[in-house]
Amino acid sequence: MRTAIVAFAKNTYKEGVRDRIFLMVGVFGVIAVISSFIIGPLSLGEQVRITQDVGLAAISILCFAVAVLIGTGIVYREIERRTIYTIVAKPVRGWHFILGKFLGLNAIVGLLVVFMAALLLGVNAVVTRTFEPEILVAVLLTWFELLLLTSLSILMSTICSPILGAILTFLFYFIGHASADLKELATRFGSPMIKAVATIIYYALPNLEYLNVRSKVIHDIPVSLSYIGFAASYALLYTIAFLMVAVIFISRKEYK
């Protein structure tokens, strides 16, 4: 069981790091973090904040892009190319496959997060001439958000094409970051229909803003350990739920 999960994870990791998307996003990430260092001086005394803000946003957006671009095709391609035929015939269960894929994809995303976070810490140290490990709190919660989003990408890849999956995951990402605003907006309109839809969206989809502490970190507002625990558990619960649905879909699939 363990070796099968490791085999899937290793294979997914190898496929991802040998993919041009990974290299392109990695290069783009380096450019984004370094550019924050260059544009910082133009911001009239806000260089530190600009560096941290651009750097943290780059980690979140670029790693999300990798999760979506690789994740939404991760199972679909196996079915389309029929590589899954030789896998289903082996003594492996659907959850071995999905969990292995999830771990492999997160190893790729995690590698990128660690690399960009190290770069950001370095650039920040040059700008502030101090080491600010508080940035890592924002990075940590971004990583939990990415866990949730990779599990959603994998779920999408078991039920629809990569393009549709990517569109839906992007929509989910934007709604997830704006769900509180949507609910607030709906109350202002006063229409019961709009209000009901906004309330359903608010409660059904995860509020990804819980995992966004970037502005707090940038403005030196402390983030409590209990909040980190709550946000991490919140992300993990959704992650597990998405993976379980993906397992149900893959286990019921037939290959004509």
Partner 1 sequence: MILRFESVTKVFRSSLTLKPTHTIGPLTFGIEPGEIFGYLGPNGAGKTTTIKMAVGLLKPSKGRISCFGKDVTCMDVRSRIGFLPEHPYFYQHLTASELLEFYGGLFGLGFEEARRRAVHLLDITGLAKFGKRRISKFSKGMLQRIGFAQALMNDPDLVILDEPLAGLDPVGRKQMRDLILDLKQNGKTVFLSSHILQDIEMICDRVGILWEGKIVKIARVEEILDQSIKGLDICVEGISIESAANLNLGKVRRTHDGIVITCPADTDTDIVIQRLMRQGARIRSILPQRQTLEDYFMAEIGDLRQPMRRDPEESLASSEVSI
Q: Long-range contacts of range 246-252, CB-CB < 8 Å, 24 or more positions apart?
A: 246/75, 246/98, 246/151, 246/154, 246/155, 246/158, 247/94, 247/95, 247/98, 248/94, 249/155, 249/158, 249/159, 250/75, 250/94, 250/97, 250/98, 250/158, 251/93, 251/94, 251/95
Total interface residues for partner 1 by CB under 8 A: 26
Q: Check residue 254 for interaction with partner 1 (CB under 8 A).
A: yes
For partner 1, give the closer residue by CB, 83 or 187.
83
Question: In 3-state terms, what secondary structure has residue 43?
Answer: helix
For partner 1, give the closer residue by CB, 2 or 129.
2
Q: Check residue 159 for interaction with partner 1 (CB under 8 A).
A: no
- In the complex, the smallest distance separating the C-beta of residue 15 from partner 1, rounded to whole angstroms, is 5
> Kindly report the CA angle at 166 between 50 and 29, in degrees rounded to 5?
30
Q: Check residue 20 for interaction with partner 1 (CB under 8 A).
A: no
For partner 1, give the closer residue by CB, 91 or 192.
91
Of the residues 21, 85, 118, 191, which one makes contact with partner 1 according to CB under 8 A: 85
- In the complex, the smallest distance separating the C-beta of residue 232 from partner 1, rounded to whole angstroms, is 30
Q: Which amino acid is at 22?
A: F
Q: Check residue 10 for interaction with partner 1 (CB under 8 A).
A: yes
Q: Which stretch binds partner 1 (CB under 8 A): 77-85, 136-144, 196-204, 234-242?
A: 77-85
